[in-house]
Amino acid sequence: MVNQRGSVQPVRGPRGSAGRALRIAFIVPPLLALIILLVSVRTPAGPSATVAVAPSFDGTHAAAYARQLAELAPDRAPGTLTAKQAADQVAGSLSEASGETVQRSSFRAPGAQGTDVMMENLWVVEKGSSDEAIVVLANRDDIAPGPGLNDNATGTAAIVELARDLSGVERARTLVLASTDGGTVGQAGNQHLLDELRSAGLRPVAVVSLDAIGSGTDALPIRFAGTGGVRTPELLLRGLEESIASQPAAGAAGPASPVTQVLDLIAPVTPAGAQVPFLDAGVAAIQLGDGDGGVGVAAIDEVRFGAVGAAIGTLLVRLDAEPRPSPPSGVYVAVSGRVIPGRAIALLAIALLLGPLFAAGQALLVGRPSRAGWSAALIVAAIGAVPGIATVLIARATDLAGGIDTPPGSGWPKAGLLAVLLVIAAGIISVAIAVYLLRYRFRAPLPLVATPVIGLGAAVLLLAGSPASVLIAVPALWVWTLLTRPDELVPRMAWGLGPVAAAGLLIFLLRGADLASLIGAAGTGSLPAALVVGGSVLVGAGVVGALASNDR
């Protein structure tokens, strides 16, 4: 509710029709959106679950091969002489296991130091009745000095063992088993493999990547996200979950927590995993496991390794029997074998804005703040937008100058120290300008109603970044329209900036990001500019709330 001076008042206080309408605006739309979300939750079907499969994956044999590879070539970093030795070793093993000719393709791509090095992909083709191809792959490289026993000698060993198990079988689709290079330096090998297969007349319709699958202690993560929120088809995700569940010794495996997945929708960054280049190219892809880049030695649980390999064999056979492939689908969140469509989450986020929108509209109609006060508030909000705009511009310039890269073993693009210092300087300069104007130039008091109005403007910018990003603005807008602002300076600052800072810290802490990662993501375009600027405007709205007049 609002008083006659334009101050936003708590919703529990008003009486009469205006108060009832305000309560309805805060309660009914979110409740309806929540009901729609619950109704939209569904359990996807897996691929051809009726196909009978007799797993024969030999975990002991595969583990022995992984140890042999890690001992023979512990340093398999792209472009090194030992990487070439590892490629020769794996090529011979693939040929022997499958009885097929190994295809080898050399290419140049940026290595660990950023300069181009020679890399090599290996693959064998088990012909099927059609040119549609199911691809199972593992990156062969690691980070120096290695030895990368679990990551990713186990994935490579699984490819060799699967080639032994699945060779000479009649199939509807062609099967490709590949050992790729460059997995630790941006997935260059996977992108090259996709281009090579298409050039050879094959049409990849499903890709399964294996990465560090031999550990006996940790749950195996499932990576299924592409750039911009795209997800692997629900059928492929469900099929992998069902195949793992069919092998009790395979242990736990699943996607990231629902909270982390929602954060991916709120603040999308470049996702990790070999599935990314395939999903971005419109090919269904998924990854099981995710390591640390291959540094150090981790013990292999042979029983679990064998069960995981058998589960992958089961999945590949079932995918072959699937009547038609599915392309990558839209955004969703996977929870305990079910999926929540991204549209339902976006609808809930937008519904949560209707209450603050109604309250701000009432304040504008009743209070009618002065033009001078509005001008001052908008100037403060514009200054609040400066750090966000500066971050985007500095990040883009840094990327053009080649100052953003992804460290080996990390999924986060990072900017250099200079870019971080420039962004910090832009923030300090913005604060200094705001303090100067507020102290020496402004004469009219800032209207309190400007806080939710500017906050709603920030929400529109966030919406342009991604619909779920609106959730960043919801806590602040609800606080600003439901809770009366205190009179004392420190509580006022907490009222204005607390909910904004809390949302930002939650994202940073749960995602493990830092300022260099934020700049790196903004520079590469994986973090939308509208989201960065919208978040900055939201901070500006909080500053307006902390400094505004609070006549009641």
Annotated domain spans of the chain: 59-336, 370-547
Say if residues 537 and 412 touch (Cβ distance below 8 Å). no
At residue 3, the pLDDT reads 47
* Cis before 145? omega within 30: yes
Say if residues 370 and 447 touch (Cβ distance below 8 Å). yes
Res. 7 pLDDT band, cuts 50 70 90: low
Listing DSSP states for 448-514 in one string gives TTHHHHHHHHHHHHHHHH-GGGGGGTHHHHHHHHHSPPPSSHHHHHHHHHHHHHHHHHHHHHHHT--
Please tell me which residue, 195 or 550, carries the higher pLDDT value: 195
Say if residues 413 and 520 touch (Cβ distance below 8 Å). yes
Backbone angles phi, psi at 40, to 5 degrees: -80, -15
What's the mean pLDDT in 254-282? 86
Provide the Cα torsion 138, 144, 149, 154; round to 10°: 0
Q: What is the pLDDT of residues 109-125, one digit of tens each?
A: 988 887 899 999 999 99
Give CA–CA dist 196/124, Å, rounded. Answer: 12
- How many of the other CB atoms lie within 10 Å of CB of 435? 11
Backbone angles phi, psi at 206, to 5 degrees: -155, 135
Give CA–CA dist 283/170, Å, rounded. Answer: 24
Give CA–CA dist 430/401, Å, rounded. Answer: 25
> What is the DSSP code (8-state) at residue 396?
H
- pLDDT higher than threshold 80 for residue 498: yes
CA nearest 296: which of 176, 402, 153?
Answer: 153
Give CA–CA dist 437/432, Å, rounded. Answer: 9
- Token digits of residue 388: 């966000």
pTM: predicted TM-score of the whole model, two decimal places: 0.84
Please tell me which residue, 223 or 330, carries the higher pLDDT value: 223
Q: What is the pLDDT of residues 515-536, one digit of tens each?
A: 888 888 888 877 889 989 999 9
At residue 512, the pLDDT reads 65
| Residue 180, strand partner residues | 139
Helix (H) or strand (E) holding 175: strand 173-180
* Cis before 413? omega within 30: no
Q: Residue 41 contacts by C-beta under 8 Å, 6 or more apart in sequence?
A: 335, 338, 339, 340
Mean pLDDT of the residues in the chain: 86
CA nearest 290: which of 227, 343, 212?
Answer: 212
Let me know how long the chain is.
552
CA nearest 309: which of 423, 158, 105?
Answer: 158
- pLDDT higher than threshold 50 for residue 350: yes
Alpha-carbon distances, residue 194 vs 109, 134, 136, 277 (angstroms): 15, 12, 12, 8
What's the mean pLDDT in 252-268? 86
CATH of 59-336, one of 3.40.630.10, 3.30.1370.60, 1.10.510.10, 3.40.50.150: 3.40.630.10
3-class state of residue 391 by DSSP: helix
Q: What is the pLDDT of residues 63-78, one digit of tens each?
A: 999 999 999 999 999 9
At residue 209, the pLDDT reads 97
- Token digits of residue 458: 């920030």
Strands (E), 336-482: 338-341, 404-405, 414-415
Backbone angles phi, psi at 297, to 5 degrees: -115, 130
Helix (H) or strand (E) holding 532: helix 529-547
- pLDDT higher than threshold 90 for residue 88: yes
Res. 100 pLDDT band, cuts 50 70 90: very high
**89-97: Cβ within 8 A, 24+ apart:** 90/122, 90/140, 90/156, 90/160, 90/179, 91/122, 91/179, 93/65, 93/160, 94/122, 94/123, 94/124, 94/159, 94/160, 94/163, 94/177, 94/179, 95/124, 97/160, 97/161, 97/163, 97/164, 97/167
Say if residues 349 and 470 touch (Cβ distance below 8 Å). yes
Give CA–CA dist 280/380, Å, rounded. Answer: 40
At residue 208, the pLDDT reads 97
Res. 16 pLDDT band, cuts 50 70 90: low
Give CA–CA dist 529/532, Å, rounded. Answer: 5
CA nearest 541: which of 378, 425, 354?
Answer: 378
Please tell me which residue, 230 or 525, carries the higher pLDDT value: 230
At residue 291, the pLDDT reads 75
- Token digits of residue 211: 């990465």
